[in-house]
């Protein structure tokens, strides 16, 4: 029986990656680990996230366990292109399309009514799902090598600050990762703005990089 990794062991799984021009072979190995049910830490625009195949229940369950996150809190999802939206969102209102045209990739997470086939663990059993198309080259390259969307939740313990550099990654998280893609320090801060487009008018659930004023102005144009 193999020894369970100890907190100090996860440094062996840290793989430096060029944030602007990520090595495709390295990202390919990370993609294979996710396909096999593993969890991978990777950079998004502002914070590091934890990636798991959203259609592998055991992997998604481990994300909750690792983060010490309660099951009633939804987990956001990252997609490689708008073509994957139809598999996840039951309806894509015009307001959502206008916001995607302006702010994707990156910057905002849009909350849609989830398709019935979307795993309930991702929605917190509320029937809604947050979706974003990331702009960071490492995240975009990782998604390009996968057939399924992945989780995009931040790589931190629930209730703790987000992780903007790997030196600040909690040992409890690091030891459970199959790979950690280290692209150096990230911007940090509030992360993406979260907008619920299932209601009219829409609701800004969390103001991040994009202000609520910018959201409203976009829809008036």
Give mean pLDDT, residues 50-75: 96
pLDDT band at 6 (very low <50, low <70, confident <90, very high): very low
Q: Evaluate if residue 114 carries a pLDDT over 80.
A: yes
Q: Evaluate if residue 69 carries a pLDDT over 90.
A: yes
Structure tokens at 130: 């947050």
Asked whether residue 38 is assigned to any structural domain, the reply reads yes
Task: Please give the mean pLDDT across all residues of the chain.
Answer: 93
pLDDT band at 161 (very low <50, low <70, confident <90, very high): very high
How many structural domains compose the chain?
1
Q: Return the CATH number at 172.
A: 3.90.870.10
DSSP secondary-structure letter at 69? -
Query: 74: domain range?
Result: 7-220
Asked whether residue 94 is assigned to any structural domain, the reply reads yes
Q: Which residues pair with 171 in a beta bridge?
A: none
Q: What is the pLDDT of residue 221?
A: 83
Q: Evaluate if residue 189 carries a pLDDT over 80.
A: yes
Helices (H) then strands (E): counts for the chain:
8, 10
pLDDT tens by residue, 121-160: 999 989 999 999 999 999 999 999 999 999 999 999 999 9
Q: What is the pLDDT of residue 104?
A: 96
Give mean pLDDT, residues 202-206: 96
Q: Global pTM? A: 0.93
**Inter-helix orientation angle 212-220/94-103, to 10°:** 110
Tokens 């992997």 found at: 59
Asked whether residue 203 is assigned to any structural domain, the reply reads yes
Asked whether residue 1 is assigned to any structural domain, the reply reads no
Asked whether residue 170 is assigned to any structural domain, the reply reads yes
Asked whether residue 2 is assigned to any structural domain, the reply reads no
* Spatial distance between the Cα atoms of 74 and 88, rounded to a whole number of angstroms: 14
């Amino acid at each position: 029986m193999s020894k369970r990794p100890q907190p100090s062991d996860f440094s062996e799984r840290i793989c430096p990656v060029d944030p602007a021009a990520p090595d495709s072979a390295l990202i390919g190995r990370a993609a294979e680990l996710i396909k096999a049910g593993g969890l991978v830490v990777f950079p998004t625009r502002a914070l590091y996230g934890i990636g798991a195949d959203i259609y592998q229940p055991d992997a998604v369950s481990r994300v909750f366990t690792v983060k010490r996150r309660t099951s009633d809190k939804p987990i956001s999802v990252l997609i490689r292109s708008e073509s994957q939206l139809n598999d996840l969102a039951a309806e894509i209102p015009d307001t959502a399309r206008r916001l995607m045209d302006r702010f994707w990739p990156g910057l905002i997470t849009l909350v849609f009514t989830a398709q019935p086939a979307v795993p309930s663990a991702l929605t917190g059993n509320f029937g809604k799902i947050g979706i974003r198309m990331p702009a960071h080259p490492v995240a975009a390259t990782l998604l390009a090598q996968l057939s399924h969307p992945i989780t995009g939740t931040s790589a931190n313990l629930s209730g703790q600050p987000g992780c903007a550099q790997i030196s600040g990654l909690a040992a409890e998280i690091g030891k459970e990762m199959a790979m950690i893609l280290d692209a150096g320090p990230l911007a940090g801060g509030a992360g993406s703005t979260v907008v619920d487009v299932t209601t009219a008018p829409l609701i800004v659930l969390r103001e991040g990089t994009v202000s609520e004023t910018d959201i409203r102005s976009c829809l008036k144009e």
